[in-house]
Amino acid sequence: MTNRYVLLTVDTEALPKRASLDHVKRLIWGVHDNGSAGIREMCSLGDEFNAKHVFFVDLCGAYPYLDEMREVVEWLDGQGQDVQLHTHPEYLPESFWSEHGLDSRPQYMNQYADDARAEFVIQHFGKLIAQITGKEILAHRAGSFRWNACLIRALKAANIPLSFNNSMCAFHAGQCVFSEPTNLPFVWSNGVIEVPTTEKKIFPKVGKEEWWARLTYPESSYFKFDPWWGGFLLNLLSDSPAFSVFLLHSWSLLHWDENGYGVYKDDQRLEGYRKLLARLTKDYDVITTADFLDLHARGLITLTQTVDLSRAELAGSVSGNQ
C-alpha cells in the first residue's frame, strides 16, 4: 500500500453529436472498420496493472439505444469494473419528458431550479443501472459538470453518498454556479461527500483571467502526470500529492475526424495509456468508489472541510432542507 490513491473515472457516453451512426458501437465499444479502441481495450489495459476503472455510465444521451446500453452496463459489471451514474438529460427526447408528465425545460442540470426534477433524473436512471448490476449506486457525475445545489440534495434523497461534480474548470466555463477550489475530498453541509476531479490552476498572462486544467487522458499539455509530482508539483499547484482523480471518456482512445466524430486511427493512444498506467501504478493505489468509502471509514482518506451547500444554490431555486 502506498497511502496514495487515484480513481480512474471514465464518462461512458454515446452523445449524438460525436458519431454519424452506430453511436454505442463506435463511441463506447470503440469498434470501427479498421480497428477497436474502446472500453474493452481500456479494461484490458487496466487489468494488466490490476487497476479497475470507475465507469460513469450515461443512459440519457444514448436513450434511443437503451438495450445496447444495458449490454454495456452488464458487460462492465461482469468484468468487475465499478459502474456508477452519469447524466446528460439535455439529450433526452421530448417524448421522454411528456411520458413522465414533465416539461423538457430547463434543459441542463445546472439550470434546474427545483429539487423534484433533479431527484427524478437521478432516481430514474440510477434505478435502471442498479437493476442490471444488482448493486446500489454509490456515485454520480453530471454531464459536462453541470450541477447546482438541487443535484447534491437529489443525491442525498437517493442515498448516493458520493458526488464527483466539483470542478473549477466547469465553474470558470459557466457550467456550474460554484465550485470549491480544491482537489481534496470534502463534505457538503447535507452530508454528501464531494470528490473533486484533479485540476491545476494555470497562472494567466497579464490581462488574462485565470483558468484551470484537468488531469485527463489524453493528457493536457498544461497538466501531465509525472512520478515526481508527489515531491513538488502537486504540493505546489494541486493541493494533494496523496489523492487524485483522472477524467477519461469511453472514447479517449479514439481520435476526432474533420466532422468531430470519434474514429479509430491507430493504437497510439492505447499504447500511451498503457505507459501512463505503468507510471501511475508505481506511485498510486488505484481504487474504486467502494474502496474510497472503505478507506474513508477506516480514516485513511479524510475529508478536509465542510462546505455550505447554499453556496451552490441557483437563484430562485425551490429547495428542501440542506
Angle in degrees, 0-180, between the axes of helices 115-133 and 149-157, rounded to the nearest 10: 50
Residue 281 has which C-alpha cell?
A: 501504478
Cα(26)–Cα(19) distance, integer angstroms: 7
Inter-residue contact 203 to 172 (CB < 8 Å):
no
Strand partners, 114: 318
Superfamily of domain 5-312: Glycoside hydrolase/deacetylase (3.20.20.370)
Cα(7)–Cα(46) distance, integer angstroms: 12
Tens of pLDDT along the chain (322 residues) come to 568 999 999 999 999 999 999 999 999 999 999 999 999 999 999 999 999 999 999 999 999 999 999 999 999 999 999 999 999 999 999 999 999 999 999 999 999 999 999 999 999 999 999 999 999 999 999 999 999 999 999 999 999 999 999 999 999 999 999 999 999 999 999 999 999 999 988 876 656 677 788 999 987 766 766 654 444 344 434 443 589 999 999 999 999 999 999 999 999 999 999 999 999 999 899 999 999 999 999 999 999 999 999 999 988 666 654 4
Give the pairing of strands 243-249 and 255-256: unpaired
Q: Which residues of 176-215 are buried (b: 16+ CB within 10 A; e: fewer)?
A: bbbbbebbbbbbbebebbbbbbbbbeeeeeeeeeeebbbb
Tell which residue, 84, 8, 1, 2, has the closest CA to residue 244.
8
Cα(202)–Cα(187) distance, integer angstroms: 26
Dihedral pair phi/psi, residue 250, rounded to 5°: -60, -20
Residue 247 has which C-alpha cell?
A: 477524467
Cα(322)–Cα(318) distance, integer angstroms: 12
Residue 5 has which C-alpha cell?
A: 490513491
DSSP code, position 313: P
Q: State how far the alpha carbon of 233 is from the alpha carbons of 37, 230, 237, 239, 272, in Å.
A: 31, 7, 6, 9, 22
Tell which residue, 167, 148, 154, 103, has the closest CA to residue 124.
154
User: What residue type is 66 in one-letter code?
Assistant: L
